[in-house]
Structure 1
């Protein structure tokens, strides 16, 4: 029983460690083209993915643009912030 609890706890810890999400938030000053360009360059999106994300952000206010570990997402977040985009990691 204790072994099962340990495995479950370890899996939950790993899920938390590796399942962070980079969220792009809507703003009133970046153009669609600029956002698409940034998503393609820094998040490695295809043009279709980047266009869809930019539309979701525009109409819904936010969009999950990349998943991974916080360690992996932090440099991308910082670059996108430097580009003037509003992003967070959750």
Structure 2
């Protein structure tokens, strides 16, 4: 028979440590139809980037094919991807956004 007092500090601390949630990268992909201006608008309004940073990122997307726009917990990443797709669709652009586990 064991008592609760017989727990070691290590036993208790290993159970109380909080494991951070898995994080997800949100990525924008280049296409031949979405305007550069719209991509900058998305980066500013959805991802909170400055105009200068958004312009730099848009050029990376254009030249390299894709760019990580942010790293978030799963639900936030899913919302960002969905927001990008909705805004792009409303403007008639096929802008693709994906997420992958960090």
TM-score by length of 2: 0.70
Q: Show structure 2 runs of 5+ residues with no match.
A: 1-9, 89-94
- Matched pairs, number: 81
Q: Which has the higher helix share?
A: 1
Q: CA offsets per residue over residues 38-85 of structure 1, 9 Å max, x none?
A: 110111111111111111111110000011111111111101011222
Is residue 35 of structure 1 aligned with residue 45 of structure 2? no
Ranges of 4+ aligned residues in structure 1 off by more than 2 Å: none
Question: CA-atom RMSD, angstroms?
Answer: 1.8
Question: Structure 1 CA distance, aligned partners of 2:79 and 2:41?
Answer: 17
Give me the whole-angstrom Cα distance separating, in 2, the residues matched to 1:80 and 1:88.
10
Task: Report SS of the residue matched to 1:39.
Answer: helix
Larger radius of gyration, structure 1 or 2?
A: 2
Structure 1: which 5+ runs fail to align? none
